[in-house]
Structure 1
Amino acid sequence: MTTVRLTLQQIHDLSYDALRKCGASELQAGVVAQELMDAEAEGIRNVGLGYIHLYLNHLRCGKVIGDAVPEIVRESAAATLVNANHGFCHTAYMHVEERLIETAKAQGIGMMAIHHSYSAGVLGWFVRRLAQRGLVSLMFANSSKAVAAHGGKVPFFGTNPFAFGSPRQDDAPVVIDMATASTARVNIVRAANEGRSIEPGHAIDAQGNPTTDPAAALKGAQLPVGGPKGFGLGLIVDLMGGALTGSNCSYEASMFSTSEGGPPNVGQSIIAFNPDFYSDDYLAHLETMFTAMTEDNDVRIPGARRHSLREKHEAEGVEVPQALLDKIAELSA
């Protein structure tokens, strides 16, 4: 496979140019290009350049509105509701990020809810930014249906990820970012494209039978991680990201994976906490806990791998398949 080594700045510029050519405004393209670059920096290709084809197709067909301008709908001392106006989630978030930080630091807690929104990509991107500003945070983002409810046979929930972020004393932030499905949908799509099987326990076919065939899985449904526990987590995300924000729930949203159906109108909620409001020694206590947890073993702190890959890719660049670059060029022509 032929690859090309690109700097992170080149990945940013490539993403920005492609988004602009497909109809994204400078406002929308600038933020999304930053998020895509950061995904590549942290080794998350499946929602980095490997995901941009969906953004480009959806800009072309109007599933995401390229010139949308986010606006604050409602606010209180600690909460803000922002309308993404069917533009990118990342741009809506950045429109309110400083207010979220200010309210969390002043009130001890702050919340941002985003509706009329779109795919959130890497949730770790959001919570990492807040951790770098000294805040602990939780994020919930629902997505179009792909996962059966526990005991069900058809897609009902999205892969519905959630994330947690926390600052550390002298180290990279803690970042936990996970789907409530047993695997991300993009992993099944990639397996289908590469002609290989998926592990047992990830999916059922259209008749509700377990399958390791990714093509059959895509016609059937994914399964929640941990059975009923993952089902409960997926439900929480759908309520926090969808119903609570005034957005669609997963089963009501148009599919992320196609160009049909118009904007998905999914939503996101982010809750940020000022640790200093609640504890005099949160960071010191966290580090004491991590020392005990990692002593004389191979435990890795969540977020550490992302950070090490970021350092590596900042120094060395990122290998990108030429076929992927050709596909991006074709879609943005």
Structure 2
Amino acid sequence: MSELRTLYPQIEPYETGMLDVGDGHRVYYERVGTRGALPAVFLHGGPGAGCLPAQRQLFDPARHDVLLFDQRGCGRSTPHANLDANTTWHLVADIERLRELAGVERWLVFGGSWGSTLSLAYAQTHPDRVSGLILRGLFTADRTALDWYYRFGASEIYPDKWERFLDPVRAANPDDLIGAYRKLLTGDDAAAAIAAAKAWSTWEAGTITLLPTPELMESFTEDDYATAFARIENHFFFHDCWLEPDQLLRDAHRLSGIPGMIIQGRYDIACPVRQAWELHQRWRGSDLRIVEGSSHAFNDPGILHELVEATDRFADPG
């Protein structure tokens, strides 16, 4: 590998706003870069994570015009942690509303983790609106992927952290941990709900990097963040993300003609490389980069290098 690429310098949005998307939801958005440059949209993970300032810096501000937004119920969007009218297909419709607000015909779609799931759902629904795809830490949201992370698989690699994840729901059905957590996260016992939210978020924060990251753990377990993250993510996973079985892989043919890069850490425990490999096999013309020695997080040095290289490549395809 050549010298590792790092983030572009910190930049501030040139526009921010709240878009009323209906159903009682208002979505925060921001635009960064150069107005009129290559249009792009950034789709964050979770579901329920919200955007970070550092994610603006994945794009060359001189060559991109990027819209980032906090999906329904999380980050700066309102109402906070709300589950009503909050599904994959509501979010796909929100992306179209934001594209129209930005005044662009087509844009580069960049999504990591859950954001890659949403990117695929959007691109397969609106392929004529997508100029390219950059997908990181691919998550197909199929039953195998959910079972790996919430039933058996990741638990074998992190047995100590898995035991702590089980603590709030030990008395419940071990075959339906997502359902058991849902009862706590949506129940009337506020103390039990916040304890469950922090346990859910701690499991994720502890398994998405190769080495423990105290700063990440602290941010994931802050009360407001953990509440939105756990409630929304659990809500989506309880409903299989409102996708038919293997839908995103089954419909990969709808991506035909869309250039794309899939960037995947070899040791990604949250989203094992199988998912990226299977999509690559079905998506003709896609470019899969398996990054050795890397895990899931976007700021893992090897992953970050490939992401910045990818956004540069789309900005200057020649």
TM-score strictly above 0.5: no
TM-score by length of 1: 0.28
TM-score by length of 2: 0.29
Higher RCO structure (Cα 8 Å, ≥6 apart): 1
**Larger Cα-atom Rg:** 1
